[in-house]
Amino acid sequence: MRVELLSNCERAFFLNSFKQNVRVDGRKCDEFREVKVIVGSELGSCLVMLGETKVLAQVSCSLVEPSTTRGNMGTIEVQVDMSPMASPDYEDGRLNSKGLELMRILELLYRDCGVVDLESLCLRTFKQVWQIRIDVHVLASDGSLVDCACIASSTALAHFRRPDVSVLPDSIIIHSNDEKIPISLNIYHMPICVTFGITSDGQNIIDPTDKEEQCLGGSLIVATNKRHEICALHQSGKFLLSEQLIVQCVDRAIQRAIDVSELIYSVIADDNLKRSNRQQINGFSELISLNVLTSHQCEANELIAPAVKIDALESIPNIEEVVTVDDNQMQIGSSNRVVRRKNEDVELMEQVQSITFLKESKEQENKIQKNPQDLEEVDELLQGIEEEFGLPD
């Protein structure tokens, strides 16, 4: 894992801002960042944006054989993907310490805390059960990654619908969504995680960013639900916590869980209403801003060529010294192409002159035809000359 370390000046600046209760992004030490929850057009997909942290969760299901110890219960599997697209500190195809910590916390919450009714996922005891798979994809990481992933996973589970089945004595028929309405999961509660950063002097920093986490001595992650139940406590770092500080963090986490749960339920209810009314589900396409498409606002780009003199268009023959073949002998001299081109130019000039002469003669003939009186005068003049000199007719 390649971690971009902070300089001493940056670390001192962050710690000084904590003491003044003013953070770099304008928040106070006890304020959260804005959270956005968006469900996709496909059931079981959810995108959560917590500040600059973005996590996509996708829930799917498949029929598997249950374990020998719990043959009447389904299973839940959690997979985490952290690619370099989220942060240059991550390696492709390999989870670092932060990724392993995230996967363990999610497995603890959704597998061991009884979030989903696993007995309702059983089709045949010790033969076939539903396996619920939660795929968590980290798109951008800027602190409080566990909080964002937990909200995305809880929303995806509430948004997911498994296909309806018909259990026969010898087989199981899985119906499509067109044949039978898919069935939602039986969710008992919705855990919400909150990260509290702890400084070396015991100060509490809520929802720290990535750079703020590097200045802290450790963190405390509290997972609660809206029923005022503590689902999990996770501490990272070597420091001691007082009882008063833990109680303070738990109270703040419970209030946060109530607010986020209401947001999730409102998003799910709005999506269900659109689907029941057969309205168009935009899903993640709402994130694409049409303001960046400015093709209809651009004017036509006209290219105007500069003026060129006629003299520049005249081609000047370039005489090159080339090797010519004459009577099977190699000689070095002027190119025959240039001589041939000169002869062609002379012939062309002669043709132009002849055409001009014919044109002028025709014009003269036309003038003579247009003036018959002049012709009679010329004839009389010629006849007088012949009589005077005694020329025969």
C-alpha 302, offset from chain centre:
31
Residue 221 pLDDT exceeds 70: yes
Quote the tokens at residue 59. Answer: 């829930």
Residue 70 or 341, more confident? 70
Q: What pLDDT does 93 receive?
A: 72
Using CB atoms within 10 A of its CB, is residue 164 exposed (0-12), middle (13-18) or buried (19+)?
A: middle
C-alpha 313, offset from chain centre:
50
Give the whole-angstrom CA distance, residue 360 versus residue 342.
27
* Tens of pLDDT, residues 247-284: 999 999 999 999 999 999 999 999 999 888 888 888 78
pLDDT band, residue 331 (cuts 50/70/90): very low
Give the whole-angstrom CA distance, residue 53 versus residue 232.
22
Which residues lie closer than 8 Å to 361 by C-beta, 6 or more apart? none
Do 190 and 226 meet the contact criterion of CB atoms below 8 Å apart?
yes
Give the whole-angstrom CA distance, residue 261 versus residue 191.
9
Q: At what angle do helices 97-112 and 145-159 cross, to 10 degrees?
A: 40
Q: Alpha helices, DSSP H only, in the chain?
A: 8-19, 97-112, 145-159, 210-215, 243-276, 336-370, 372-389
Amino acid occupying residue 102 = L
Residue 330 pLDDT exceeds 50: no
Do 195 and 219 meet the contact criterion of CB atoms below 8 Å apart?
yes
* Tens of pLDDT, residues 153-192: 999 999 999 998 888 888 888 888 888 889 999 999 999 9
Tell me the average pLDDT across 189-215. Answer: 89
Q: 């909150």: which residue's tokens?
A: 194
Which residues lie closer than 8 Å to 106 by C-beta, 6 or more apart? 78, 80, 134, 136, 149, 150, 153
Q: Is the pTM of this model over 0.75?
A: no
Do 231 and 191 meet the contact criterion of CB atoms below 8 Å apart?
yes
Residue 333 pLDDT exceeds 50: no
Give the whole-angstrom CA distance, residue 264 versus residue 41.
16
389: Cα within 13 Å, side-chain hemisphere: 8
Phi, psi of 298 (to 5 degrees): -85, 140
A 10 A CB-CB count for 217 gives: 15
Give the whole-angstrom CA distance, residue 148 versus residue 142.
10
Q: 């910590």: which residue's tokens?
A: 101
Q: Alpha helices, DSSP H only, in 91-197?
A: 97-112, 145-159
What percentage of the chain has pLDDT greater than the value 70? 76
Give the whole-angstrom CA distance, residue 195 versus residue 216.
12
Give the whole-angstrom CA distance, residue 207 versus residue 219.
10
Residue 385 or 48, more confident? 48
Give the whole-angstrom CA distance, residue 152 versus residue 47.
6
Quote the tokens at residue 342. Answer: 């000169």
